[in-house]
Structure 1
């Protein structure tokens, strides 16, 4: 079994110039940086959609604004592995927040992907499958297909609306079914339990779980200068190392150790 390429979620954009392993960085944070320079690591872009929809019940950032910002990031940071589209999440509370249906969220997600591809065709946009039940996700595949998008032919496809229920058997079944259709999935916000259950069926995954842990624990002994390590790259690096080592011990040793050697970050 193969292990997913793991991106550490980073809410500190300056880590792009200090880290030696893949980072998943939010547009909401990166757009605040007036000056950008080439990143020292692989990176991918998070659209920040969960926060934007939670706060506003709709997208305030237009596709044009997002495409221009993404173009700027690619020009100054270097080519990203992928850039997440402006998708519409389908968790029940998000459906209640927007007042729209799951089907409407899916249709808006597909339309946005097509628009971003038109606005900035050279960028590696990541289409996202949205839904709540397995039948929802399968319908979303059909919506993309009807728009002329063959998801199985793309390098990666995001799997949306799973991060808050990823330890359930239902999500494992959804991942297995979609992967069985030839989709190379990216798991958003996958925690340790999710990686252990179905990580081998993902092409890649990201997680910010380290920050939650750091918020509720004392700082590292060599980080006595701050209250906790919630913004601390050394803490995040060690957390990542423990995560990869733990997964390697559970049966993914060859793939993950190869990845660590490639990235130059032994646990």
Structure 2
């Protein structure tokens, strides 16, 4: 399993060879872009877009323009997520959850899935040379099976794709339902990427994933004193803390499940 460290600090790509996961918007707003030292992948920022606006405010053409600029100036990325539509209840129905306000799309899970597949096809048509990956979305196991079928009917053989994102599972990852979804999707022979996976989820189903990412280090750092000799209030934006957290998470996994050395 390849484990990406999720960060909002774009300049980290020039500071570490540890695989990083960054939102495209963090690059899109920059005048100058850092050159990547190691591997990285690009998130479309869909959760934030749908949370704030209930829709995508960037067109596929604009997103492809951002990705091409990132590829040219930062360096080739492993892959980029499409402008997919998450299926969490808060994203669909809206409201205030955990102090965060969600506008709500007020669409069905099925419509979110249809739009996710359609956007992937649009992006692949606009930029066939860019490594944009398909993403599965859903709420229940039956939903995810239906999403697999939608790709199949669109002529996309997911088993042949080098990476298939598994969306909307981060809040279910440590539950039986979440484990059942990951297990069923892996049984299709898919090389899955788990978005936003935390320690419990990795312990339970990490062996079924080809890769995963997590920003949980920042949450942990905000609730702890800073590292010794660090002048800031906490280490929520601190690369040394993030790297130590990542090492602890990976060291805690069973040895047969840990990433290869070149992914460290």
Q: Secondary structure at the match of 1:126?
A: coil
Asked if residue 78 in structure 1 is aligned to residue 75 in structure 2, the reply is yes
Distance in 1 of aligned mates of 2:129 and 2:244: 35
Pick one of 90, 95, 101 that aligns with 1:93.
Answer: 90
The residue number in structure 1 matching 2:240 is: 234
Distance in 2 of aligned mates of 1:219 and 1:95: 37
Distance in 2 of aligned mates of 1:172 and 1:165: 8
Q: What are the equivalent positions in structure 2 for 1:154-233 lying under 5 Å apart?
A: 154-223=161-230, 225-233=231-239
CA-based RMSD: 1.1
Asked if residue 28 in structure 1 is aligned to residue 32 in structure 2, the reply is no
TM value normalised by structure 2: 0.94
Contact kept, 8 Å, 2:13 with 2:34, in 1: the verdict is no
Q: CA deviation at 1:132?
A: 0.6
Q: Secondary structure at the match of 1:45?
A: strand
Asked if residue 8 in structure 1 is aligned to residue 5 in structure 2, the reply is yes
Stretches of 4+ moved more than 2 A in 1? 250-253
Distance in 2 of aligned mates of 1:70 and 1:251: 36
Q: Secondary structure at the match of 1:113?
A: helix
After superposition, the C-alpha distances for 1:24-65 in whole angstroms (9 at most, x for unaligned) are 011122212211242001000011000110000000011110
Aligned residues: 254
Pick one of 243, 246, 251 that aligns with 1:245.
Answer: 251
Q: Secondary structure at the match of 1:8?
A: strand
Q: CA deviation at 1:92?
A: 1.4
Distance in 2 of aligned mates of 1:86 and 1:98: 14
Pick one of 55, 58, 65 that aligns with 2:52.
Answer: 55
Distance in 1 of aligned mates of 2:255 and 2:140: 29
The residue number in structure 1 matching 2:43 is: 46
Distance in 2 of aligned mates of 1:215 and 1:60: 30
Gaps of 5+ in 1: none
Q: Secondary structure at the match of 1:174?
A: helix
Distance in 2 of aligned mates of 1:42 and 1:251: 23
Gaps of 5+ in 2: 94-103
Q: Secondary structure at the match of 1:6?
A: strand
Asked if residue 111 in structure 1 is aligned to residue 111 in structure 2, the reply is no
After superposition, the C-alpha distances for 1:210-249 in whole angstroms (9 at most, x for unaligned) are 00001111100021x11110110000011011111111xx
Distance in 1 of aligned mates of 2:229 and 2:196: 28
Distance in 2 of aligned mates of 1:164 and 1:172: 11
